[in-house]
Amino acid sequence: MDKIIVLDFGSQTAQLIGRRIRDMGVYTEILPGDSPLDAEALAETRGIVLSGSPESVYENGAVPDRVVYECGLPLLGICYGLQRMNYDQGGAVEPLPRREYGRIGVTIAEGAGLDNIVSDTAVSGGVIGTNTVAARRFLEGFPPNNGTRRFTAWMSHGDTLTRLAPGFRCYGFSDTGYPAVLIHEDRPWFGLQFHPEVTHCEGGTGILRAFVFGVCGADAGWTMERYVQELRTSLAERVGDNPVLLLISGGVDSTVAGALLLAALPPDQVHLMYMDTGLMRKDETTAVKAALEKLGARHLHIVYCGEEFLSALKGLTEPEAKRKAIGDLFITIQEREVRALGLPDSYFLAQGTLYTDLIESGKGVGKKARLIKSHHNVGSPLVDAKRRAGRILEPLDRLYKDEVRRLGALVGVQREVLQRHPFPGPGLAVRILGEVTAEKCNILREADAIFIEELKSRRSAETGNSFYDDIWQAFTVLLPIRSVGVAGDVRKYGWVLALRAITSADGMTADVYPFPTADLLEISTRITNAVKDIGRVTYDISSKPPATIEWE
Ligand code: XMP
């Protein structure tokens, strides 16, 4: 299958480049900017994109394997990637007097592009050499320019090219007068000072398409059906007749990983382990069990350890202390229960790690990408040991969340499971502020179930979808305070409950869901009527940042 490699030099948008190209049906792989590119890495590669970076080429910026310049493959340098290519080939890059950020116009030089590729700019001129055909195809992908040849690009850079390397020609300038579109005259090398992958860049996808299809001639062979087929074959080959143990949380990712294993291997080889920490949502364990059995699970090990978690949490009120107690106990129980299964040492350990989990935790992909969250359980001593032994299976580790949902549908996971809102590892413990008790868990579970049921049954007049489907994540939070109210004629002293509902693309930032007031009022009434310990309901109207999605 044809692929495009994205060399990640630490840009926040390197992932986005990969995403955009995958959305065109072409498989992409993101590799650290300086990773060695041997024949295996380059197999079936049709082109390489060099990403942006917060670094400068003349300071600490990473340098790609020189094979990049020798392999003859088409290259597209974006921002730092362009500066890198120019600098490595003998051009100059220097700091701008002032950093440029945001929407900036770019004008394609008169005469550049379509019929005769001639640049009449001050930086370079003349007819392009052996790269003419590819250059024309590339420039054809630029936004329609209404006779003005100008479009709005999106930039974020502190350096600029100040001398072009031999062979590079400039075909477009920013309104601020800096080189913005570069093409090499003899080699299939292209560079953009702006970011076509960012949605604010006018026609950005068209420019990427022109590179991927027009220049690289890549085949759009990346379909989920095909990928599932390949995964099934490779999983079966790799596992042989060894048993596989999958750690299941009940969320979308691990359930899809389970479904995939059950589709790829004889079900008797597949062991699924799920821990009911007592901090789960209402009827969650029953639903997880039913879903997995429907997928053909034969060896489902449900570990009921609610008591252990509650006693570990006793007396703890600090959010981090609670998280640590849960994390530590999780590991202890996991090791104990896995040992108790008595699987042979040769067993494979599987988890539903996603591509974004690897990127966020800085594991293996995009070495320079920063650690954004610390709560991903990509690692535990057991997982680390199995990883060292080369016996970890992470069949979803090349996929983004929405791709996992598509894959899940192909291997029979129900829509309801696939569309489920995310749920944090520490469960209700981070939604009961202060000390966690069994009683509070029950109160929260009831209130949360009502909230979610209401979101599923109410529709947005604007989109026609259920509120639940339009919301990225919704839940209730039990506050550690009680307030005064009346019930009948009697004074009531009840707990305060907060509702949280946010929209988001990936959980990194979040906006408050704009509920119609009438719905909020009705939901609040239903909760206070049905859950007698709750006396008051509030709606959390904080975005992320500054507030996080969870309260602890
Ligand atoms: P925050 O609260 O950091 O949450 O804005 C972002 C997303 O991550 C989820 N979350 C967790 N997920 N283990 C997880 O697996 C955790 O410890 C954890 N804490 C928060 C949160 O629900 C939201 O979707």
Q: What is the pLDDT of residues 322-371, one digit of tens each?
A: 999 999 999 999 999 999 999 999 999 999 988 777 765 554 444 444 33
- Alpha helix locations (H) across 186-282? 204-209, 224-239, 252-264
Q: Tell me the average pLDDT across 363-390.
A: 62
What is the model's pLDDT at position 122? 31
* Residue 395 beta carbon below 6 angstroms from any ligand 1 atom: no
pTM score: 0.77
242-266: average pLDDT: 96
Res. 116: pLDDT tops 70: no
Q: What is the DSSP string of 62-97?
A: ----THHHHS---EEEETHHHHHHHHHTT-EEEEEE
Give strand ranges (E) for 345-442. Answer: 348-350, 392-393
pLDDT of residue 377: 52
For residue 146, the model assigns a pLDDT of: 62
In words, the CATH class of domain 431-539 is alpha beta
- Domain formed by 224-418, architecture: 3-Layer(aba) Sandwich (3.40)
Place of tokens 């942006």: 52
> Between the CA of residue 265 and those of 236, 246, 254, 293, 349, what are the distances in Å?
6, 13, 16, 15, 14
Is position 200 annotated as part of the catalytic site? no
Rounded to the nearest whole angstrom, what is the distance from the C-alpha of residue 357 to the centroid of ligand 1? 12
Residue 216 designated active-site = no
Minimum CA distance residue for ligand 1 atom 20: 424
- The chain-wide mean pLDDT, for the chain, equals 90
Question: Tens of pLDDT along 147-166?
Answer: 678 999 999 999 999 999 99
Catalytic choice (55, 185, 197, 360)? 197
| Fold match, 3-215 / 431-539 | no
With cut-offs at 50, 70 and 90, classify the pLDDT of residue 117: very low
| Mean pLDDT of the region 421-432 | 95
The pLDDT assigned to 22 comes to 92
Q: Which of 254-258, 270-274, 381-385 shows the lowest mean pLDDT across its residues?
A: 381-385
What residue ranges do the domains of the chain occupy? 3-215, 224-418, 431-539
Given the DSSP bridges, would you call strands 179-184 and 168-174 parallel, antiparallel or unpaired?
antiparallel
Residue 197 falls in the annotated catalytic set: yes
* DSSP, res 214: I
Instruction: For the sheet with 150-163, list strands across it.
Output: 27-32, 3-8, 45-50, 75-78, 189-192, 179-184, 168-174, 92-108, 150-163
CA distance between the termini of the chain: 44
- pLDDT of the residue at 489: 84
Say if strands 75-78 and 189-192 run parallel, antiparallel, or are unpaired: parallel
Mutate which of 401, 549, 551, 552 for ligand 1 pocket (most atoms within 8 A of beta carbon): 549
CATH number of 3-215: 3.40.50.880
Q: How many of the other CB atoms lie within 10 Å of CB of 123?
A: 17
**Average pLDDT in the 215-240 region?**
94
* Closest residue to atom 14 of ligand 1, CA basis: 424
* pLDDT tens for each residue of 393-410: 999 988 888 889 999 999
Q: For residue 213, how far is its CA from the centre of ligand 1 (angstroms)?
A: 38
In tens, the pLDDT along 522-547 reads 999 999 999 999 999 999 999 998 99
